[in-house]
Structure 1
Amino acid sequence: MIGRLRGLLLEISEEEVLVECAGVGYLVRCGVRTLAAMPELGAEIIVHIESQTREDGTRLYGFLSKDERTSFQVLQSVQGVGPKAALSVLDVLTPGQLAQAVAHEDKTSVGRANGVGPKLAARIVAELKGKVLASVDFGPIVHTPAAPAKPSVGGESVAALVGLGIPETQSRLAVEQAMKQLGEEADLAAVIRASLKAMGK
Protein backbone atom coordinates (compact mmCIF):
# COMPACT_ATOMS: atom_id res chain seq x y z
CA MET A 1 0.00 0.00 0.00
CA ILE A 2 1.17 3.53 -0.78
CA GLY A 3 1.85 5.61 2.35
CA ARG A 4 3.78 8.57 0.94
CA LEU A 5 4.45 10.20 -2.41
CA ARG A 6 7.24 12.58 -3.31
CA GLY A 7 7.10 14.09 -6.76
CA LEU A 8 6.05 16.96 -9.00
CA LEU A 9 2.65 18.60 -8.69
CA LEU A 10 1.26 18.55 -12.25
CA GLU A 11 -2.45 19.31 -11.84
CA ILE A 12 -4.92 20.63 -9.26
CA SER A 13 -8.65 20.10 -9.79
CA GLU A 14 -11.72 20.61 -7.63
CA GLU A 15 -11.21 17.42 -5.62
CA GLU A 16 -7.80 15.97 -6.43
CA VAL A 17 -4.23 16.55 -7.53
CA LEU A 18 -1.97 14.74 -9.99
CA VAL A 19 1.48 13.96 -8.64
CA GLU A 20 4.19 12.51 -10.89
CA CYS A 21 6.67 10.18 -9.21
CA ALA A 22 9.38 8.47 -11.29
CA GLY A 23 7.37 8.97 -14.46
CA VAL A 24 4.08 7.65 -13.01
CA GLY A 25 1.17 10.02 -12.38
CA TYR A 26 -0.90 9.41 -9.25
CA LEU A 27 -4.36 10.91 -8.79
CA VAL A 28 -4.75 11.84 -5.13
CA ARG A 29 -8.02 13.00 -3.61
CA CYS A 30 -7.67 15.87 -1.13
CA GLY A 31 -9.83 18.08 1.03
CA VAL A 32 -10.38 21.77 0.36
CA ARG A 33 -7.90 22.88 3.04
CA THR A 34 -5.17 20.66 1.56
CA LEU A 35 -5.90 21.78 -2.00
CA ALA A 36 -5.72 25.44 -0.98
CA ALA A 37 -2.31 24.88 0.65
CA MET A 38 -0.76 23.31 -2.44
CA PRO A 39 2.24 25.12 -3.99
CA GLU A 40 2.51 26.27 -7.60
CA LEU A 41 2.24 23.68 -10.38
CA GLY A 42 5.59 22.09 -11.15
CA ALA A 43 6.78 22.26 -7.54
CA GLU A 44 8.06 19.20 -5.73
CA ILE A 45 5.75 18.08 -2.94
CA ILE A 46 5.51 15.37 -0.32
CA VAL A 47 2.03 13.99 0.22
CA HIS A 48 1.13 11.60 3.05
CA ILE A 49 -1.21 8.97 1.62
CA GLU A 50 -4.06 6.85 2.94
CA SER A 51 -4.74 4.06 0.43
CA GLN A 52 -8.19 2.46 0.35
CA THR A 53 -8.95 -0.52 -1.86
CA ARG A 54 -12.54 -1.15 -2.84
CA GLU A 55 -14.44 -3.09 -5.48
CA ASP A 56 -13.99 -0.31 -8.03
CA GLY A 57 -10.23 -0.04 -7.42
CA THR A 58 -7.77 1.72 -5.14
CA ARG A 59 -8.29 5.34 -4.15
CA LEU A 60 -5.55 7.54 -2.71
CA TYR A 61 -6.29 10.27 -0.18
CA GLY A 62 -3.55 12.83 0.37
CA PHE A 63 -2.51 15.17 3.18
CA LEU A 64 0.35 17.58 3.71
CA SER A 65 0.99 16.41 7.28
CA LYS A 66 1.03 13.07 9.09
CA ASP A 67 -1.33 14.47 11.74
CA GLU A 68 -3.99 15.14 9.10
CA ARG A 69 -3.66 11.62 7.73
CA THR A 70 -3.90 10.10 11.20
CA SER A 71 -6.98 12.20 12.02
CA PHE A 72 -8.54 11.09 8.72
CA GLN A 73 -7.95 7.45 9.69
CA VAL A 74 -9.26 7.87 13.23
CA LEU A 75 -12.38 9.74 12.11
CA GLN A 76 -13.37 6.78 9.94
CA SER A 77 -13.36 4.50 12.99
CA VAL A 78 -16.61 6.24 13.95
CA GLN A 79 -19.74 4.49 12.70
CA GLY A 80 -21.27 6.41 9.81
CA VAL A 81 -18.11 8.36 8.95
CA GLY A 82 -16.66 7.55 5.55
CA PRO A 83 -13.86 9.23 3.60
CA LYS A 84 -16.09 12.06 2.37
CA ALA A 85 -17.31 13.02 5.84
CA ALA A 86 -13.82 12.68 7.31
CA LEU A 87 -12.44 15.07 4.69
CA SER A 88 -15.30 17.50 5.38
CA VAL A 89 -14.43 17.57 9.09
CA LEU A 90 -10.77 18.26 8.29
CA ASP A 91 -11.85 21.04 5.91
CA VAL A 92 -13.27 23.01 8.86
CA LEU A 93 -11.01 21.80 11.70
CA THR A 94 -7.26 21.27 11.81
CA PRO A 95 -6.11 18.16 13.70
CA GLY A 96 -5.37 20.31 16.74
CA GLN A 97 -8.78 21.98 16.58
CA LEU A 98 -10.43 18.58 16.25
CA ALA A 99 -8.61 17.40 19.36
CA GLN A 100 -9.79 20.52 21.21
CA ALA A 101 -13.38 19.98 20.04
CA VAL A 102 -13.35 16.36 21.22
CA ALA A 103 -11.75 17.29 24.56
CA HIS A 104 -14.38 19.96 25.19
CA GLU A 105 -17.25 17.91 23.72
CA ASP A 106 -17.80 20.71 21.20
CA LYS A 107 -20.36 19.13 18.89
CA THR A 108 -21.14 22.47 17.26
CA SER A 109 -17.65 22.90 15.80
CA VAL A 110 -17.64 19.37 14.38
CA GLY A 111 -21.16 19.88 13.02
CA ARG A 112 -19.94 22.79 10.85
CA ALA A 113 -18.53 20.22 8.43
CA ASN A 114 -20.48 19.84 5.20
CA GLY A 115 -22.68 16.72 5.37
CA VAL A 116 -22.17 16.16 9.10
CA GLY A 117 -25.43 16.60 10.97
CA PRO A 118 -25.92 17.09 14.73
CA LYS A 119 -26.34 13.37 15.47
CA LEU A 120 -23.19 12.38 13.61
CA ALA A 121 -21.25 15.25 15.17
CA ALA A 122 -22.31 14.06 18.63
CA ARG A 123 -21.25 10.51 17.78
CA ILE A 124 -17.85 11.69 16.53
CA VAL A 125 -17.20 13.61 19.75
CA ALA A 126 -18.37 10.71 21.92
CA GLU A 127 -16.48 7.94 20.13
CA LEU A 128 -13.24 9.89 19.68
CA LYS A 129 -13.03 10.90 23.33
CA GLY A 130 -9.43 10.02 24.23
CA LYS A 131 -8.87 8.32 20.88
CA VAL A 132 -7.69 11.31 18.86
CA LEU A 133 -5.45 12.54 21.65
CA ALA A 134 -3.90 9.07 21.98
CA SER A 135 -3.25 8.80 18.25
CA VAL A 136 -1.83 12.22 17.45
CA ASP A 137 0.53 14.47 19.40
CA PHE A 138 -1.23 17.82 19.30
CA GLY A 139 0.57 19.31 22.29
CA PRO A 140 -1.15 20.44 25.50
CA ILE A 141 -4.88 21.10 25.51
CA VAL A 142 -5.50 24.66 26.65
CA HIS A 143 -8.79 25.07 28.48
CA THR A 144 -9.75 28.63 27.66
CA PRO A 145 -13.22 30.01 26.95
CA ALA A 146 -13.93 30.23 23.26
CA ALA A 147 -14.35 33.75 21.92
CA PRO A 148 -17.72 34.51 20.34
CA ALA A 149 -17.55 33.61 16.69
CA LYS A 150 -18.00 36.42 14.22
CA PRO A 151 -18.61 36.11 10.48
CA SER A 152 -15.34 35.93 8.58
CA VAL A 153 -14.68 37.45 5.18
CA GLY A 154 -13.83 33.97 3.90
CA GLY A 155 -17.07 32.47 5.18
CA GLU A 156 -19.17 35.31 3.81
CA SER A 157 -17.40 35.05 0.45
CA VAL A 158 -18.11 31.31 0.22
CA ALA A 159 -21.76 31.92 1.11
CA ALA A 160 -22.00 34.61 -1.57
CA LEU A 161 -20.53 32.34 -4.25
CA VAL A 162 -22.80 29.47 -3.25
CA GLY A 163 -25.69 31.91 -3.52
CA LEU A 164 -24.64 32.51 -7.13
CA GLY A 165 -25.06 28.80 -7.83
CA ILE A 166 -21.38 27.78 -7.60
CA PRO A 167 -20.78 24.44 -5.79
CA GLU A 168 -19.58 24.85 -2.20
CA THR A 169 -16.37 22.84 -2.67
CA GLN A 170 -15.36 24.93 -5.69
CA SER A 171 -16.32 28.12 -3.86
CA ARG A 172 -14.22 27.26 -0.80
CA LEU A 173 -11.17 26.43 -2.92
CA ALA A 174 -11.46 29.66 -4.91
CA VAL A 175 -11.87 31.77 -1.76
CA GLU A 176 -8.90 30.09 -0.05
CA GLN A 177 -6.72 30.85 -3.07
CA ALA A 178 -8.02 34.43 -3.31
CA MET A 179 -7.32 35.15 0.35
CA LYS A 180 -3.86 33.62 0.07
CA GLN A 181 -3.19 36.04 -2.79
CA LEU A 182 -4.85 39.13 -1.28
CA GLY A 183 -4.06 38.59 2.40
CA GLU A 184 -6.27 38.10 5.44
CA GLU A 185 -7.15 41.82 5.61
CA ALA A 186 -8.82 41.83 2.18
CA ASP A 187 -12.39 43.08 2.10
CA LEU A 188 -15.39 41.01 1.06
CA ALA A 189 -15.85 42.55 -2.40
CA ALA A 190 -12.19 42.09 -3.31
CA VAL A 191 -12.21 38.42 -2.26
CA ILE A 192 -15.37 37.69 -4.24
CA ARG A 193 -13.99 39.42 -7.35
CA ALA A 194 -10.70 37.53 -7.12
CA SER A 195 -12.51 34.23 -6.56
CA LEU A 196 -14.76 34.74 -9.58
CA LYS A 197 -11.77 35.74 -11.69
CA ALA A 198 -9.87 32.60 -10.65
CA MET A 199 -12.85 30.47 -11.74
CA GLY A 200 -13.17 32.33 -15.04
CA LYS A 201 -16.60 33.72 -14.13
Structure 2
Amino acid sequence: MIGRLRGTVVDKQPPEILIECGGVGYEVTLPMTSFYHLPKLDEEAIIYTHFAVREDAQQLYGFANVTERKLFRLLIKVNGVGPKLALAILSNMSASQFVHCVQIDDVATIVKIPGVGKKTAERLLIEMRDRLKDWGQDISTPTADEFSLQGEDLGSTFVTVTNEKDDAITALVSLGYKQNQAEKAVSGVHQDGMSSEELIRDALKSML
Protein backbone atom coordinates (compact mmCIF):
# COMPACT_ATOMS: atom_id res chain seq x y z
CA MET A 1 0.00 0.00 0.00
CA ILE A 2 1.35 3.42 -0.97
CA GLY A 3 0.12 5.88 1.65
CA ARG A 4 2.22 8.98 1.06
CA LEU A 5 4.58 10.40 -1.54
CA ARG A 6 7.20 13.06 -1.05
CA GLY A 7 8.95 14.26 -4.17
CA THR A 8 9.23 16.79 -6.96
CA VAL A 9 6.26 17.75 -9.11
CA VAL A 10 7.58 17.41 -12.66
CA ASP A 11 4.35 17.63 -14.66
CA LYS A 12 0.82 18.92 -14.07
CA GLN A 13 -2.12 18.18 -16.34
CA PRO A 14 -5.28 18.49 -14.25
CA PRO A 15 -6.53 16.39 -12.64
CA GLU A 16 -3.29 14.38 -12.94
CA ILE A 17 0.30 15.06 -11.95
CA LEU A 18 3.62 13.30 -12.26
CA ILE A 19 5.65 13.36 -9.05
CA GLU A 20 9.20 12.03 -8.96
CA CYS A 21 10.25 10.29 -5.76
CA GLY A 22 13.71 8.76 -5.53
CA GLY A 23 14.06 8.56 -9.29
CA VAL A 24 10.63 6.97 -9.81
CA GLY A 25 7.81 8.96 -11.39
CA TYR A 26 4.33 8.32 -10.02
CA GLU A 27 1.21 9.32 -11.93
CA VAL A 28 -1.37 10.53 -9.42
CA THR A 29 -4.94 11.75 -9.92
CA LEU A 30 -6.15 14.44 -7.52
CA PRO A 31 -9.47 16.13 -6.85
CA MET A 32 -9.25 19.74 -8.00
CA THR A 33 -9.66 21.03 -4.44
CA SER A 34 -6.29 19.40 -3.70
CA PHE A 35 -4.80 20.23 -7.10
CA TYR A 36 -5.18 23.97 -6.44
CA HIS A 37 -2.75 23.70 -3.52
CA LEU A 38 0.07 22.05 -5.42
CA PRO A 39 3.42 23.83 -5.56
CA LYS A 40 4.92 25.06 -8.82
CA LEU A 41 6.69 22.69 -11.15
CA ASP A 42 10.07 21.39 -9.94
CA GLU A 43 9.16 22.10 -6.32
CA GLU A 44 8.68 19.54 -3.59
CA ALA A 45 5.28 18.29 -2.45
CA ILE A 46 3.90 15.80 0.05
CA ILE A 47 0.82 13.94 -1.15
CA TYR A 48 -1.32 11.54 0.86
CA THR A 49 -2.44 8.72 -1.41
CA HIS A 50 -5.01 6.00 -1.86
CA PHE A 51 -3.99 3.04 -4.02
CA ALA A 52 -6.90 1.49 -5.92
CA VAL A 53 -6.54 -1.88 -7.66
CA ARG A 54 -9.01 -3.21 -10.21
CA GLU A 55 -8.84 -6.14 -12.58
CA ASP A 56 -7.97 -3.85 -15.47
CA ALA A 57 -6.06 -1.01 -13.79
CA GLN A 58 -4.08 0.25 -10.83
CA GLN A 59 -4.57 3.89 -9.88
CA LEU A 60 -3.07 6.27 -7.34
CA TYR A 61 -5.31 9.03 -5.99
CA GLY A 62 -3.70 11.91 -4.15
CA PHE A 63 -4.89 14.40 -1.54
CA ALA A 64 -3.58 17.53 0.13
CA ASN A 65 -4.17 16.13 3.60
CA VAL A 66 -5.43 13.08 5.46
CA THR A 67 -8.87 14.65 5.95
CA GLU A 68 -9.53 14.74 2.20
CA ARG A 69 -8.29 11.17 1.86
CA LYS A 70 -10.44 9.98 4.75
CA LEU A 71 -13.57 11.47 3.15
CA PHE A 72 -12.65 9.92 -0.21
CA ARG A 73 -12.37 6.50 1.44
CA LEU A 74 -15.74 6.95 3.12
CA LEU A 75 -17.34 8.01 -0.17
CA ILE A 76 -16.19 4.96 -2.12
CA LYS A 77 -17.82 2.71 0.48
CA VAL A 78 -21.22 4.06 -0.51
CA ASN A 79 -23.13 1.77 -2.85
CA GLY A 80 -22.82 3.07 -6.40
CA VAL A 81 -19.97 5.48 -5.67
CA GLY A 82 -16.62 4.53 -7.18
CA PRO A 83 -13.31 6.41 -7.17
CA LYS A 84 -14.20 8.45 -10.27
CA LEU A 85 -17.43 9.76 -8.76
CA ALA A 86 -15.77 10.39 -5.39
CA LEU A 87 -13.10 12.36 -7.23
CA ALA A 88 -15.78 14.43 -8.97
CA ILE A 89 -17.48 15.16 -5.64
CA LEU A 90 -14.26 16.34 -4.03
CA SER A 91 -13.38 18.37 -7.12
CA ASN A 92 -16.62 20.31 -6.85
CA MET A 93 -16.49 21.04 -3.14
CA SER A 94 -14.15 20.87 -0.19
CA ALA A 95 -14.53 18.28 2.55
CA SER A 96 -16.13 20.86 4.84
CA GLN A 97 -18.61 21.90 2.16
CA PHE A 98 -19.60 18.30 1.50
CA VAL A 99 -20.04 17.58 5.21
CA HIS A 100 -22.25 20.68 5.45
CA CYS A 101 -24.39 19.40 2.55
CA VAL A 102 -24.83 16.10 4.39
CA GLN A 103 -25.74 17.85 7.63
CA ILE A 104 -28.47 19.95 6.01
CA ASP A 105 -29.64 17.29 3.50
CA ASP A 106 -28.74 19.50 0.55
CA VAL A 107 -29.79 17.23 -2.32
CA ALA A 108 -30.05 20.15 -4.74
CA THR A 109 -26.32 20.89 -4.59
CA ILE A 110 -25.24 17.25 -4.73
CA VAL A 111 -27.25 16.46 -7.87
CA LYS A 112 -25.39 19.17 -9.79
CA ILE A 113 -22.25 17.03 -9.62
CA PRO A 114 -21.79 14.99 -12.82
CA GLY A 115 -22.82 11.36 -12.41
CA VAL A 116 -25.02 12.01 -9.39
CA GLY A 117 -28.74 11.60 -10.00
CA LYS A 118 -31.42 12.31 -7.42
CA LYS A 119 -31.58 8.72 -6.14
CA THR A 120 -27.80 8.50 -5.84
CA ALA A 121 -27.71 11.86 -4.07
CA GLU A 122 -30.38 10.78 -1.58
CA ARG A 123 -28.60 7.48 -0.90
CA LEU A 124 -25.30 9.31 -0.57
CA LEU A 125 -26.67 11.72 2.02
CA ILE A 126 -28.36 8.95 4.02
CA GLU A 127 -25.31 6.67 4.14
CA MET A 128 -22.81 9.46 4.71
CA ARG A 129 -24.90 10.99 7.49
CA ASP A 130 -24.31 7.89 9.59
CA ARG A 131 -20.62 7.66 8.71
CA LEU A 132 -20.02 11.33 9.45
CA LYS A 133 -21.93 11.50 12.72
CA ASP A 134 -18.67 11.68 14.70
CA TRP A 135 -16.85 13.73 12.09
CA GLY A 136 -17.29 17.04 13.91
CA GLN A 137 -16.38 20.43 12.48
CA ASP A 138 -12.61 19.98 12.39
CA ILE A 139 -12.21 19.82 8.62
CA SER A 140 -8.65 20.75 7.80
CA THR A 141 -7.13 22.47 4.81
CA PRO A 142 -3.56 22.03 3.60
CA THR A 143 -0.97 23.21 6.11
CA ALA A 144 2.72 23.94 5.87
CA ASP A 145 3.64 20.25 6.12
CA GLU A 146 1.00 19.12 3.62
CA PHE A 147 1.94 19.86 0.04
CA SER A 148 5.05 21.36 1.64
CA LEU A 149 6.81 24.24 -0.07
CA GLN A 150 3.58 24.89 -1.92
CA GLY A 151 3.34 27.92 -4.19
CA GLU A 152 0.70 30.55 -3.72
CA ASP A 153 0.10 31.12 -7.44
CA LEU A 154 -2.73 29.20 -9.08
CA GLY A 155 -1.21 30.06 -12.42
CA SER A 156 1.59 27.48 -12.34
CA THR A 157 2.73 26.65 -15.87
CA PHE A 158 2.15 23.15 -17.24
CA VAL A 159 4.91 21.50 -19.25
CA THR A 160 2.95 20.98 -22.47
CA VAL A 161 0.17 23.56 -22.28
CA THR A 162 -0.78 25.15 -25.58
CA ASN A 163 -4.28 26.34 -24.78
CA GLU A 164 -5.55 26.92 -21.27
CA LYS A 165 -9.21 26.75 -22.32
CA ASP A 166 -8.75 23.38 -24.01
CA ASP A 167 -6.89 22.01 -20.98
CA ALA A 168 -9.63 23.21 -18.63
CA ILE A 169 -12.34 21.64 -20.81
CA THR A 170 -10.43 18.36 -21.00
CA ALA A 171 -10.08 18.31 -17.21
CA LEU A 172 -13.80 18.90 -16.67
CA VAL A 173 -14.69 16.13 -19.11
CA SER A 174 -12.37 13.76 -17.23
CA LEU A 175 -14.30 14.64 -14.07
CA GLY A 176 -17.56 13.50 -15.66
CA TYR A 177 -18.98 16.63 -17.27
CA LYS A 178 -20.30 16.43 -20.82
CA GLN A 179 -18.26 18.14 -23.52
CA ASN A 180 -20.88 20.83 -24.15
CA GLN A 181 -21.29 21.50 -20.42
CA ALA A 182 -17.55 21.90 -20.00
CA GLU A 183 -17.20 24.17 -23.03
CA LYS A 184 -20.09 26.38 -21.90
CA ALA A 185 -18.82 26.66 -18.33
CA VAL A 186 -15.24 27.46 -19.33
CA SER A 187 -16.31 29.99 -21.95
CA GLY A 188 -18.58 31.64 -19.40
CA VAL A 189 -15.78 32.36 -16.93
CA HIS A 190 -12.85 32.81 -19.32
CA GLN A 191 -10.83 36.01 -19.18
CA ASP A 192 -7.54 36.77 -20.85
CA GLY A 193 -4.56 35.69 -18.79
CA MET A 194 -6.36 33.05 -16.74
CA SER A 195 -4.52 29.78 -16.15
CA SER A 196 -6.09 26.37 -16.66
CA GLU A 197 -6.43 25.89 -12.92
CA GLU A 198 -8.21 29.21 -12.49
CA LEU A 199 -10.56 28.36 -15.34
CA ILE A 200 -11.38 24.95 -13.84
CA ARG A 201 -11.93 26.42 -10.39
CA ASP A 202 -14.28 29.15 -11.61
CA ALA A 203 -16.07 26.85 -14.05
CA LEU A 204 -16.78 24.33 -11.29
CA LYS A 205 -18.12 27.10 -9.05
CA SER A 206 -20.40 28.33 -11.83
CA MET A 207 -22.00 24.90 -12.19
CA LEU A 208 -22.92 24.47 -8.51
TM-score (norm 1): 0.70
Alignment check: 8 A CA contact 1:71 1:132 kept:
no
| Alignment partner, residue 169 of structure 1 | 172
What aligned pairs does 1:142-153 form with structure 2 within 5 A after superposition?
none
Instruction: Determine if contact 1:27/1:60 at 8 Å carries over to the other structure.
Output: yes
Name the structure 1 match of 2:192. 193
1:166 to 1:191, Cα distance in 2 relative to 1, 3 A: closer
Return the letter of the residue paired with 1:193: D
The equivalent of 2:131 in structure 1 is 131
Whichever of the two has the greater Rg, that structure is 1
Aligned-partner SS, 1:52: strand
Q: Tell me: CA distance 1:50–1:197, structure 2 relative to 1, closer, same or farther (3 Å).
A: closer
CA distance in 2, matches of 1:71, 1:58: 20
* Counterpart residue number, 2:23: 23
Instruction: Go from structure 1 to structure 2 and tell me whether the alpha carbon gap of 1:117 and 1:168 turns closer, same or farther (over 3 Å shift).
Output: farther
More RCO (CA 8 Å, sep 6+) = 2
When the two structures are superposed, what TM-score results if normalisation uses the length of structure 2?
0.68
Q: For structure 2, list consecutive stretches of 5 or more residues without a partner in the other structure.
A: 140-164, 176-186, 198-208
Task: Give the C-alpha shift of residue 102 in structure 1.
Answer: 0.8
Q: Which runs of 5+ in 1 are unaligned?
A: 141-160, 173-187
Q: Give 1:42-53 correspondences, 5 Å limit.
A: 42-53=42-53
Judging changes above 3 Å, is the alpha-carbon distance between structure 1 residues 190 and 53 closer, same or farther for their aligned structure 2 residues? closer
Question: How far apart, CA to CA, are the structure 2 residues paired with 1:5 and 1:55?
Answer: 24
Q: Distance in 1 between matches of 2:130 and 2:13?
A: 35
Q: Which amino acid aligns with 2:106?
A: D
Q: Which amino acid aligns with 2:10?
A: L
Provide the rounded CA distance (Å) in 1 between the counterparts of 2:64 and 2:105: 27
What residue is the counterpart of 1:84 in the other structure?
84
Cα pair distance change 1:17/1:131, threshold 3 Å: same
CA shift for structure 1 position 115: 1.8
1:129-184 CA-partner distances (Å, limit 9, x unpaired): 131243x45339xxxxxxxxxxxxxxxxxxxx69xx94461799xxxxxxxxxxxx
Q: Percent identity?
A: 32
Alignment-mate amino acid for residue 56 of structure 2: D
Residue pair 1:17, 1:27 contacting (<8 A) in 2 also: yes
Q: Aligned Cα RMSD in Å?
A: 3.0
CA contact (8 A) 2:14 2:171 kept: no
Whether contact under 8 Å (2:52, 2:58) holds in the other structure is yes
What is the identity, as a one-letter code, of the residue corresponding to 2:119? K
The one-character-per-residue Cα deviations of 1:2-23 (angstroms, maximum 9, x if unpaired) are 0000111110113311111111
Distance 1:83 1:127 in 2: 16
CA change 1:169–1:8 in 2 (3 A) is same
Partner of 1:54: 54
Q: Aligned equivalents of 1:6 and 1:191: distance in 2?
A: 34
Aligned AA for 2:20?
A: E
For the 8 Å contact 2:27–2:60, the answer to whether it is kept is: yes
Aligned residue-pair number: 161
